[in-house]
Amino acid sequence: MKQLEESPALCRSEGNIFWWIMSTIWLPFTLPHLIFKVIGMIRERRYRECLPGKVVLITGASSGLGEALAHTFFLAGCKVVLAARRKDELERVRKDLLALHTTVVTHSPVVVPLDLSDINSLPNKVKEVLEIHGQIDILINNGGISVRSDCLSTALDVDIKVMLVNYFGTVALSKACLPSMIKRKEGRIVCVSSVQGKFSIPHRSAYGASKHALQAFCDSLRAEMAENNVRVTLVSPGYINTALSFNALTGTGKQYGKIDSTTASGSSPEKVAKLILKAVLRDEDDITIAPIAPRLAYWIRHLCPPLYFRIMASRAKKVDSSASKDD
């Protein structure tokens, strides 16, 4: 009988010890996270009211994530400027926006064809937008190309082209937009990078290098522009279900022409676009949009490099073996 009476007391004691341990270990981590989350929600609500009428220039807007971003920011009431190489596809996106969102009170999208590899022409493209709208509130650097080739088989011309489009084109366009933003003491540069800008994987040396460079550029620019109230948001997505791999370059510069299984099973561009909008509204500096595996790889790379290098070497061996079978 005495044993039965002591049992509930023992359970309560063990329960108290459990919660004491949980609060001691986890509370210092979870409490700041919850506080930042609440602050983010407050910011999002406040900035959402200010978003209608903002001029948003989106590169790579002719398809994929760029097209999804156009729909997302258009629905939010922004003055969307669609930019990419293919004018006919930009016109299609523009017509889709006007046809699909007829109930939305917003502004007619503007089409500005541009080629990120032609960096000397980009200042005039920005000038064209400024002549139309008078300002650029948000620049979303989304345009880019990828590569499917090992380092040794990749022609140097391909390395240069990828760096020219993904890095120098983004830098040139950002620099062309900055003077007007600094003058107004307001603006935001959004750069769509990749998780491969945070850690590298085999057969992506050219692509990963361009995204690594973009990461460094954004980190420097963010610090330099803080006093001018020009914000910089770096977005690092994982795989997105778009035609990026289909349009990727091979080592010789030809079109890859295939949709990778990893790309096909990636996040929808619509989902990623909404998360980018949320990052802008919450004034985020650097966000990663990816499942657990890439996030884990990032931490392994920085906390245990030897293990990461071993995993990547094994991955490279498997890819090479698979490619030889296909040949």
Residue ranges in the chain assigned as alpha helix (H): 2-50, 64-75, 87-100, 122-133, 156-163, 170-184, 205-225, 261-264, 269-281, 292-303, 305-326
The string over 125-160, giving b where at least 16 C-beta atoms fall within 10 Å of a residue's C-beta and e elsewhere, is: bbeebbeebebbbbbbbbbbbbbbbbeeebeeebbe
- Direct distance between the N- and C-terminal alpha carbons of the chain, in angstroms, rounded to an integer: 78
d(CA 148, CA 83) in angstroms, rounded, equals 25
- The residue assigned the tokens 């939010």 is 76
d(CA 80, CA 66) in angstroms, rounded, equals 11
d(CA 68, CA 189) in angstroms, rounded, equals 18
* Sheet containing 286-289: order of strands: 110-113, 79-84, 55-59, 138-141, 187-192, 230-237, 286-289
At a CB cut-off of 8 Å and minimum separation 6, what does 157 contact? 253
Type of residue at 176:
A
Q: Is 207 one of the catalytic residues?
A: yes
d(CA 55, CA 126) in angstroms, rounded, equals 12
Pick the catalytic residue from 167, 207, 239, 308: 207
Positions marked active-site: 207
